Structure 1
Amino acid sequence: MGKDPGGQVGGLLSYLALKESLAEIQNFLQELARRGEVYVTGGAVRDILRGDRVGDLDLTVVDLSPREVAEEAARRLSWALVPLHEEFGVFRVARGSFSLDISGLRPGAMNIEDDLRLRDFSFNALAVPLSKALERSPSEWPLLDPCQGLRDLKAGLIRAISRQNLIDDPLRILRAYRFYALGFGEIEAETRRWLSAERARLSKVARERILYELMLILGRMAGEAFSLMAEDEVLFEIFPEFAEARGVPQPSFHHLDVLGHSLLALARAEEVLRAPGKFFGDPEPFAELLSDPERRIAVKLAALFHDLGKPRTFAVRDRITFYEHEKVGARIFLEMAERLRFKKDLAKRVAHLIRNHMRPFHLLAEKEKGRLTARAKRRLLRDVPEYPDLFVVAMADGLAARGPDKDPDEEEKLAEFFRELHEFYRETLRKVERKRLVTGRDLIEIFGLAPGPIFRKLLEAVEEAQVEGRVKTREEALEYIAGIIDTL
Structure 2
Amino acid sequence: MNFIPSQLIDVLKDLIDQEIYVTGGPIRDTFLKRPFKDIDLTLPQGAKELAQKVAQKHHGHCVPLDEKEGVFRVVIENYFLDFSNFRQKSRSIEKDLSLRDFTINAMAVTLEEFLHESPSAWNLIDPFEGQKDLSRRLLKALGRTNFIDDPLRMLRGYRLAAELDFALEAQTRKWIKELHKHLGHVARERIATELELLFSHTAGKVIALMAEDELLFEIFPELKAARNVTQPSFHHLDVFGHLLLALEMSDLVIEAPEKYFGDLEANNPFTSIKDSPRKKTAIRLAALFHDIGKPHTFAIRHRITFYEHDRVGAEIFLKIGERLRFPKKFTKEVALLIRHHMRPFHLLHEFKVNRLSRRAIRRLIKDVPDYPSLFMVAMADSLASAGPDKEPGLEIELANLFWEIHHFNQEVLINQEKERLVTGQDLIDLFGLEPGPIFRELLEAVEEARSEGKIKTREEALSFLGILIQEKFRENFK
TM > 0.5 fold call: yes
What is the SS of the residue equivalent to 2:454? Answer: coil
Match of 1:30 in 2: 16
1:145, CA displacement in angstroms? 1.9
Check conservation: 2:348, 2:398, Cα contact below 8 A.
yes
- Encode CA deviations 1:22-59: one digit per residue, 9 max, x unaligned: 33532x13322xxxx43222222222222234322222
Match of 2:117 in 1: 136
Match of 1:434 in 2: 418
Alignment gaps of 5+ in structure 1: 1-12
- Encode CA deviations 1:430-469: one digit per residue, 9 max, x unaligned: 3333332222222222222222222222222222222222
1:386, CA displacement in angstroms? 1.6
Indicate which of 93, 96, 107 corresponds to 2:88.
Answer: 107
TM-score under structure 1 normalisation? 0.92
- What code does the residue aligned with 2:4 have? L
The separation in 1 between residues aligned to 2:335 and 2:370, in whole angstroms, is: 13
Check conservation: 2:139, 2:168, Cα contact below 8 A.
yes
> 1:250/1:102 Cα in 2 relative to 1: closer, same or farther (>3 Å)?
same
User: Does 2:164 match 1:177?
Assistant: no
User: Does 2:43 match 1:57?
Assistant: no
> Which deviates more from structure 2 when the two are superposed, residues 431-440 or residues 213-222?
431-440
The separation in 1 between residues aligned to 2:126 and 2:462, in whole angstroms, is: 79
The separation in 1 between residues aligned to 2:92 and 2:419, in whole angstroms, is: 73
Match of 2:24 in 1: 42
Check conservation: 2:139, 2:167, Cα contact below 8 A.
yes
- What code does the residue aligned with 1:15 have? F
1:267, CA displacement in angstroms? 1.7
Match of 2:432 in 1: 448
The separation in 2 between residues aligned to 1:83 and 1:240, in whole angstroms, is: 33
Match of 1:294 in 2: 278
1:408, CA displacement in angstroms? 2.0
- What code does the residue aligned with 2:36 have? V
The separation in 2 between residues aligned to 1:442 and 1:304, in whole angstroms, is: 46
- What code does the residue aligned with 1:418 have? F
Match of 1:14 in 2: 2
The separation in 2 between residues aligned to 1:459 and 1:72, in whole angstroms, is: 59
What is the SS of the residue equivalent to 1:145? Answer: coil
- Encode CA deviations 1:224-267: one digit per residue, 9 max, x unaligned: 22111111111111111111111111111111111111121122
What is the SS of the residue equivalent to 1:40? Answer: strand
> Which deviates more from structure 2 when the two are superposed, residues 127-136 or residues 86-95?
127-136
> 1:366/1:130 Cα in 2 relative to 1: closer, same or farther (>3 Å)?
same
Pairing of 1:285-434 with structure 2 (within 5 A): 285-434=269-418
The separation in 2 between residues aligned to 1:21 and 1:47, in whole angstroms, is: 16
Match of 2:232 in 1: 251
Alignment gaps of 5+ in structure 2: 473-478
Aligned length: 469
> Which deviates more from structure 2 when the two are superposed, residues 152-161 or residues 81-90?
81-90
Match of 2:476 in 1: none
Match of 2:253 in 1: 272
Check conservation: 1:25, 1:77, Cα contact below 8 A.
no
> 1:448/1:79 Cα in 2 relative to 1: closer, same or farther (>3 Å)?
closer
The separation in 2 between residues aligned to 1:76 and 1:475, in whole angstroms, is: 66
Check conservation: 2:58, 2:76, Cα contact below 8 A.
no
The separation in 2 between residues aligned to 1:121 and 1:79, in whole angstroms, is: 30
1:472, CA displacement in angstroms? 2.3
- What code does the residue aligned with 2:195 have? L
The separation in 2 between residues aligned to 1:133 and 1:419, in whole angstroms, is: 52
1:184, CA displacement in angstroms? 4.8
- What code does the residue aligned with 1:232 have? D
The separation in 2 between residues aligned to 1:53 and 1:382, in whole angstroms, is: 39
- What code does the residue aligned with 2:117 have? R
The separation in 2 between residues aligned to 1:75 and 1:379, in whole angstroms, is: 54
The separation in 1 between residues aligned to 2:34 and 2:467, in whole angstroms, is: 68
> Which deviates more from structure 2 when the two are superposed, residues 228-237 or residues 284-293?
284-293
- Encode CA deviations 1:361-388: one digit per residue, 9 max, x unaligned: 0010112233221211121122112211
What is the SS of the residue equivalent to 1:60? Answer: strand
> 1:416/1:151 Cα in 2 relative to 1: closer, same or farther (>3 Å)?
same
- Encode CA deviations 1:317-355: one digit per residue, 9 max, x unaligned: 111110000000000100110010111111111111111
> 1:106/1:369 Cα in 2 relative to 1: closer, same or farther (>3 Å)?
same
What is the SS of the residue equivalent to 1:271? Answer: helix
> Which deviates more from structure 2 when the two are superposed, residues 96-105 or residues 397-406?
96-105
Match of 1:3 in 2: none
The separation in 2 between residues aligned to 1:430 and 1:23, in whole angstroms, is: 49
- Encode CA deviations 1:305-327: one digit per residue, 9 max, x unaligned: 11111110011111111000000
- Encode CA deviations 1:52-72: one digit per residue, 9 max, x unaligned: 34322222212x522333233
TM-score under structure 2 normalisation? 0.94
Check conservation: 1:269, 1:393, Cα contact below 8 A.
yes
- What code does the residue aligned with 2:416 have? V
> Which deviates more from structure 2 when the two are superposed, residues 71-80 or residues 463-472?
71-80
- What code does the residue aligned with 1:263 have? L
What is the SS of the residue equivalent to 2:41? Answer: strand
- What code does the residue aligned with 2:178 have? A
- What code does the residue aligned with 2:69 have? F
Indicate which of 82, 103, 106 corresponds to 1:122.
Answer: 103
The separation in 1 between residues aligned to 2:8 and 2:29, in whole angstroms, is: 22
Check conservation: 1:158, 1:184, Cα contact below 8 A.
no
Check conservation: 1:21, 1:77, Cα contact below 8 A.
no
What is the SS of the residue equivalent to 2:416? Answer: helix
> 1:373/1:118 Cα in 2 relative to 1: closer, same or farther (>3 Å)?
same
> 1:135/1:372 Cα in 2 relative to 1: closer, same or farther (>3 Å)?
closer
Check conservation: 2:294, 2:313, Cα contact below 8 A.
yes
Pairing of 1:199-278 with structure 2 (within 5 A): 199-278=180-259
Match of 2:475 in 1: none
Check conservation: 2:200, 2:278, Cα contact below 8 A.
no
- Encode CA deviations 1:269-318: one digit per residue, 9 max, x unaligned: 12111222221124312223333332222122111111111110011111
